[in-house]
Amino acid sequence: MVSRPHLWVLAGGNGAGKSTFFETRLKQHGIAFVNADLIQRAMFKGLGPEASYSAAKLAGKMRDKLLEERRSFCFESVFSHGSKIDFIAKAKSLGYKITLVYIHLSDDNLNLARVAGRVSTGGHHVPDDKVLSRIPRVLQLMQTALQIVDSAYLLDNSSADNPFQVVARVNAGKVEPKVEPLPAWAQTMLQT
């Protein structure tokens, strides 16, 4: 019996820790990783919007090719655009097992600070207004994504002392809270 391909989706606001999660939790399992930021750094000169756009387009093509080949892989995204819902729905229709890891920070200012920290070490900049406007859209899209995926983990990455704290797990639509009370952002995501 051929096993189902597995799609890992790392979602969350800018600066939430998606790349760090992959590096510390998934990389050692040999999972292919599609990350537009890494593509931009490796293939395109500069950190401007044109390079970012080109890297995002290439990442999209890579994801599509991996789907076509029915290969297991992981991708990260802020997940603030409905096209990501379409992508995971397509993966589901192709028989993929889908695990969503949503990473949140308890304070939007922490997102801004982490993006600024990344820029100071040569990483890419995201304008503050863009960082802030994406967060509510992501929460809204997560409500739909949770209805498509096989399982999901909602993580709070606000504390350096307790990174990637599991707030809730969703398995086949059943919510398993891991903290009481659930933070407001998790409650918003879990409303149907």
Q: What is the CATH number of the domain that holds 86?
A: 3.40.50.300
Q: For all residues of the chain together, what is the average pLDDT?
A: 90
Span 68-106, pLDDT tens digits: 999 999 999 989 999 999 999 999 999 999 999 999 999
Span 51-76, pLDDT tens digits: 778 888 999 999 999 999 999 999 99
Cα–Cα distance measured from residue 131 to residue 14, given in angstroms and rounded to the nearest whole number = 6
In a domain, 51, yes or no: yes
In a domain, 17, yes or no: yes
In a domain, 1, yes or no: no
Span 177-192, pLDDT tens digits: 999 999 999 999 998 5
Cα–Cα distance measured from residue 11 to residue 20, given in angstroms and rounded to the nearest whole number = 12
Span 20-38, pLDDT tens digits: 999 999 999 999 999 988 8
Domain count for the chain: 1
Residue 13 clears pLDDT 60, i.e. is over it:
yes
The C-alpha torsion from 171 through 160 and 179 to 8, rounded to 10°, is -10
In a domain, 81, yes or no: yes
Can you give the residue range of the structural domain that contains 128? 6-190
Span 132-173, pLDDT tens digits: 788 889 999 999 999 999 999 999 999 999 999 999 999 998
Cα–Cα distance measured from residue 123 to residue 106, given in angstroms and rounded to the nearest whole number = 22
